[in-house]
Amino acid sequence: MSHTQKTVRQPARKLPAEWAPQSGVMLTWPRPDSDWEDHLPEAEAALAELTAQISRREQVLISCDDQTHQRHITTLLTTAGADHAAITFQFVPANDVWVRDHGPITVLADGKPLLLDFTFNGWGGKYAAELDNHLTRTLHSAGVFGDTPITSSRFVLEGGSIDSDGEGTLLTTTSCLLGPGRNLGWSRQQIEEELRETLGIDRVLWLKHGWLAGDDTDGHVDMLARFCDANTIAYTACHDAADEHYPELNAMAAELAALRDGDGKPYKLIALPLPAARFNEDGKRLPASYANFLIINGAVLLPVYDDKNTDAYALAALRAAFPHHEIVAVPALALIRQYGSLHCATMQLPQGVLA
């Protein structure tokens, strides 16, 4: 007597584009006793302005230490003109602010949100990350995401290392995903299969070139090149032959020009200028990038760097790329002191994740 084994169909997955409707945005607030200590007031002012802009358009979930920390942050948000009705706090331990990399990546499984909790190892073991690696699970256990299901993975993946067009194409860099610090021993083919299975991706576009001085992520794509729609990519460009970035960023521009969209056509490319060099007290160049913008409901929040030559140019370029969004400049000089910017400090949650 034979028995036919019934195959259980796996829900079809899709990784939404950042411009898909959102329920909210996550932030992890900096702690006083952290690497931010020397520049905390400036960093908090930048994050308060960022939060205020988001709160006028959708919900904000802020992870912080305790009630004392919350009261301090609330005062800053009041000064920035935030909509407090749109802001929720959760007390959860954390190592750093970069929730783009330690927060959940949300896919749609048969159209319903599913949180993916990938492993975060401090960008290849460079920094302590144990608290950050547990943050998403801690928030989920606290009921922050309602009845949205979650699945965890031992695969190391950071949200800043990938960018989705919402139609099955993923943009990433070989320097990060194929580097030895994340998934040692995994081949490019194995990594592509993992991305297809977990994220519902059809195509992976790899950039071999592209680099920013001061970037400690091994080349996160959200500092280099971003989808603006399924046929348009904005990218960090360098036109100064004397700048140290000139060879790599021009090689990346050539790579982008050779890529094809899902219809087999060249992408429309929008060059974002490289801001003037900024350095920390030790003379280390900081990774200022306009590509680290955040797309939210109805607006694009653009990091600006007090550069009279390039800030306005970048704003105009993004207005052309996002004709149906308001483009809002948010000062980000204080954030690049710890080697990230607006996109790095936020993680969007698609519609249906937050109540």
Q: Which residues are catalytic?
A: 344
In the sheet where 59-64 sits, what is the strand order? 87-91, 59-64, 22-28, 347-350
CB 170 within 8 A of CB 203: yes
In the sheet where 162-164 sits, what is the strand order? 162-164, 169-173, 203-207
CB 95 within 8 A of CB 128: yes
CA-closest candidate to residue 237, choices 261, 212, 260, 217: 212
* 174 token code pair: 């070989």
Q: Where are the alpha helices (DSSP H) in 104-218?
A: 122-125, 130-141, 174-177, 188-199
Give the CA distances from residue 116 to residues 55, 152, 208, 282, in Å, rounded to whole numbers and listed in that order.
25, 6, 26, 38
